[in-house]
Structure 1
Amino acid sequence: MISRFGKSLALIILAMLVLTMIALVHPPSRSYIDPWTGQLFGEGGVEQMLQSQVCNNHPKIGGVKGGVIMGKLGNETAKAALGRATWKLLHTTTLRYPEHPTPDERLALSSYFHLSSRLYPCGECAAEFQQLLQKYPPQTASRRSASLWLCAVHNEVNKRLQKPEFDCAHLSDEYDCGCGDEPTTTKVNTKTAGGSDSVNLEADTSKDDLTGVDMIRGGR
């Protein structure tokens, strides 16, 4: 007959086996309670609350989706002047855009283009720009990809207006960004390209350097 000690030992061993099986099926949480403050840390605890606060402090930019806000611009002279000034602004923006942008900077540039397509003072022009953004989403992985993307989009507009296309490899000849000691000359000597800080728009543009996505081409 099994003694009382033997029964107790058997129950302890059985309980340990049950607990082991439960632990294998449901691994223990990495959270813990601070014995001094009583706060829960780890999974679902204070860290999650702090992460939520960080996300709330940096919300996504609103207003990027929606239709054109402005009406038709009937004055052709004003429309042409506005177009030249806007292309100057947009091309200069991409030529001064960081070589290695952060995710926040990439979101900012993409949102900027989409907001511009809604708020552009020429309503019919804005509608066309929205169609182009839908067909050719902004490429923001680097200064080169953003500059070439915008040049290709500009050439799409030039085709419709029956204007000459830009040579996208020599953008800075047309749009001087005034970068001073940060050169963005787009024509690179192949013998000295390795030591240049300038963006090489003559390099292979078939794919985006960062994402590997096929890039649209424009100009020569």
Structure 2
Amino acid sequence: MAASYPEKASPEQQRETTTFMQLFGKMYPCWVCADDFRAWMKDGNEPRVSSREDFGQWMCEAHNAVNVKLGKNSFDCKKWEERWRTGWKDGRCG
């Protein structure tokens, strides 16, 4: 989602995206995950939706919050765009 988000989102796009993320947190099929996501957002992690960069960083942080709970490594969020939007600079796939 963040990869195709506008570089600078309009007020309407920002409202719609914030609403979507809130609804996503209510409708996610795993109720435990949904509750956890809503609690994470409520705990000072409201969606940052003013731009592609802000939203991409926020989505990466949300992804990392799950990774930490699962005992996985965190991803370097400075590289979110390279991983999920533009591709690795060295041409590799993953």
Taking structure 1 as the reference length, the TM-score comes to: 0.38
Question: More helix by proportion, 1 or 2?
Answer: 2
Relative to structure 1, the CA distance from residue 186 to residue 143 in structure 2 (aligned partners, 3 Å threshold; closer, same or farther) is farther
Structure 1 residue 124: Cα displacement? 0.5
Gaps of 5+ in 2: 90-94
Relative to structure 1, the CA distance from residue 133 to residue 148 in structure 2 (aligned partners, 3 Å threshold; closer, same or farther) is same
* Equivalent residues of 1:106, 1:140 under 8 A apart: yes
> Of the two structures, which has the highest relative contact order with CA contacts closer than 8 Å and spacing of 6 or more?
2
Corresponding residue number in structure 1 for 2:57: 148
* Equivalent residues of 2:56, 2:81 under 8 A apart: no
Aligned counterparts, 1:140-179, within 5 A: 140-175=49-84, 177=85
Q: Is 1:124 aligned to 2:32, yes or no?
A: yes
User: In structure 1, what residue type is equivalent to 2:47?
Assistant: P
Taking structure 2 as the reference length, the TM-score comes to: 0.84
Q: Which runs of 4+ in 1 moved over 4 A?
A: 184-187
Corresponding residue number in structure 2 for 1:212: none
Aligned counterparts, 1:52-67, within 5 A: none
Structure 1 residue 185: Cα displacement? 5.7
* Equivalent residues of 1:171, 1:186 under 8 A apart: no
Gaps of 5+ in 1: 1-92, 178-183, 188-220
Secondary structure at the aligned position of 1:124 is classed as helix
* Equivalent residues of 2:6, 2:52 under 8 A apart: yes
Relative to structure 1, the CA distance from residue 143 to residue 118 in structure 2 (aligned partners, 3 Å threshold; closer, same or farther) is same
Q: How many residues align?
A: 88
